[in-house]
Amino acid sequence: MPQINITRHIEALIFSSVQSISVQEILLALNAVFETEHIEQQVFESLDVIQEKYNHEDFAIELVNLNKGYQFLTKKDYHETVNQLQLHRSKKKLSQAAMETLAIIAYRQPITKLEIEQIRGVNSDYSVQRLLEKELISIDGKAETPGRPILYSTSGIFMDYFGLNHINQLPQLKDIAKEENTVGENVD
């Protein structure tokens, strides 16, 4: 029997995954296919080999550790080119209402739909439904309040899309607020 190149199988798993794939998911797939017990150390060694391979300038993609998993992403040098393609794919864009709803969920999670509507001041049924369909948010259980409303949080796809490892990496208001956006005079 020919020797199995685990690194190539791991590379194929990462390539075929729509979102980041964890080491545990890689181990499950390898162990199921080869009916042997692979260890994490083998997987990490293979991930290092793959990462080194794609760090070469001949490749436009790289292996990135995101959201406690691994995913192939375009290198920064090519972001503008890829961005042009994304601009033309307007069907996948979120409406202003959906973006507002997503921002509220991201910063206040877990949160109920009623709390979202109180912040926005309008009904958010459609926006929440669209975000669930796009899998940018997920149901995170039920609140311990009367009626036990559903709690919403951001999903792993949200984390992948925005390149976050942890929700604490979201920009804070102090990071994006500009002094010229203030009302009134600054008094020294």
| CA distance linking residue 51 with residue 5, whole number of Å | 16
Beta pairing partners, 69: 66
Say what percent of the chain tops pLDDT 70.
87
pLDDT digits (tens, 9 = 90+) for 62-71: 999 988 899 9
| Predicted pLDDT of residue 186 | 58
| CA distance linking residue 113 with residue 98, whole number of Å | 13
- List phi, psi (to 5°) of 138: -140, 160
Which band of pLDDT confidence, cut at 50, 70 and 90, is reported for residue 184? low
Residue 76 exposure: Cα atoms within 13 Å on the Cβ side: 2
pLDDT digits (tens, 9 = 90+) for 122-155: 999 999 999 998 889 999 999 999 999 999 999 9
| CA distance linking residue 176 with residue 107, whole number of Å | 14
Rg (CA), the chain: 21
Which band of pLDDT confidence, cut at 50, 70 and 90, is reported for residue 175? low
* pTM of the predicted structure, to 2 decimals: 0.54
| CA distance linking residue 137 with residue 116, whole number of Å | 13
Residue 187 has pLDDT above 90, yes or no: no
Which band of pLDDT confidence, cut at 50, 70 and 90, is reported for residue 177? low
CB atoms within 10 A of CB 69: 21
pLDDT digits (tens, 9 = 90+) for 71-124: 999 999 998 888 888 766 645 678 899 999 999 999 999 999 999 999 999 999
| Predicted pLDDT of residue 181 | 54
Measured in residues, the chain has a length of: 188
Q: Which residues contact 17 (CB under 8 A, 6 or more apart)?
A: 71
Q: Are 147 and 115 in contact (CB under 8 A)?
A: no
Beta strands in the chain (DSSP E): 61-66, 69-74, 111-112, 137-142, 150-154
| CA distance linking residue 16 with residue 171, whole number of Å | 30
| Predicted pLDDT of residue 63 | 95
